[in-house]
Structure 1
Amino acid sequence: MILAATNPAGGSATEKYTLDNGLTVILEQNNASSVVAVNVWVKVGSACEVEGEYGLAHVHEHMLFKGTEKRGVGEIARLIESSGGDINAFTSFDETVYYVVIASRFAETALDVLSDAVTSSTFDPTELDKELEVVLEEIRRGEDSPSRVLSQKMFAEAYKHHTYKRPVIGT
């Protein structure tokens, strides 16, 4: 998890901690603005997938914000956005990243929401069906994009013998 926040005393510093559960926390203070960015970086992406799992990391990324044991569908985004923040995620070859950018006075909210999503997502079957349709539509849009098609062909050719040859988004 990476937390960037204002430093009221001025200056900047980076600190790194490893928690008892193995989680690495990096705290970087920056007094440029009164905004906090909370990121959770998970060391898993599409390159970790095997046949039959292609796109699983991407679907998992979508599902984490679709409800938890204490927050229903839509509540996660509503809570962050009603505080003026932005919540989103992305999947790459080697990691999946979940993040919130919000006014620093809402830092605890951001930490609470992201930790809840990462540890207590419910993966509701109805929401999964809906989200699979969203992902399939993303794939279809990519198939209609000449630049995306070219990029995927380039990766397939450049990485013939590596898992980077497959699209992060899934197939």
Structure 2
Amino acid sequence: MGTGDGTDTAADRLHELATYFLEHPVPGPSARTTHSTTPSAPMNLGMLDYIQASVTEVVQHTRTVNPDAGPLPEHVADVYDWCRQYTAHAPAIDQQRARAIEIRHRLEHAVRAGDARIVRPIHCPACRRVGLKWQPGLWRAVCLNVHCARTNGGVHHQWKLARLAYEQAAVERIRQDCAT
């Protein structure tokens, strides 16, 4: 998934997620249901809540960093560009936090849309090797490297998407600082 230029952004994933759940409604009960005699909503209402929570998190962070941030964009997928625009002159730690939120959302949006392969190219924070596998029952990525497991008493390291996003944002910040 991407914009055609080789990128894969949270905005792309959010747009894909919303489109996917509009085109493929959940036939079973959802976490949030209506109790009426009219037909059910054409979309999983729990997913709608999730999308709203994602956008709200980005907006809250942006407004905390920059209370004078302009009006929200018309399309929800543009909220990440809006955030970058209004946090561009914020302290580095606030920019890194915004980036970590965006990366985590990209990962979450992809996993929720059924693309668990998104975690495969991410380096394990413990052994720094590629080879994570998504475990939906745990809602975590697991490092499959045997040598990595040995350093953890024989148990495979498990990582929340938030930790993977934090690590990736930190690496991006270090690379950016070294390049300047």
- Per the normalisation by structure 2, the TM-score is 0.28
Higher helix residue share: 2
* TM-score normalised by structure 1 residue count: 0.29
Q: Report the structure, 1 or 2, having the larger strand content.
A: 1
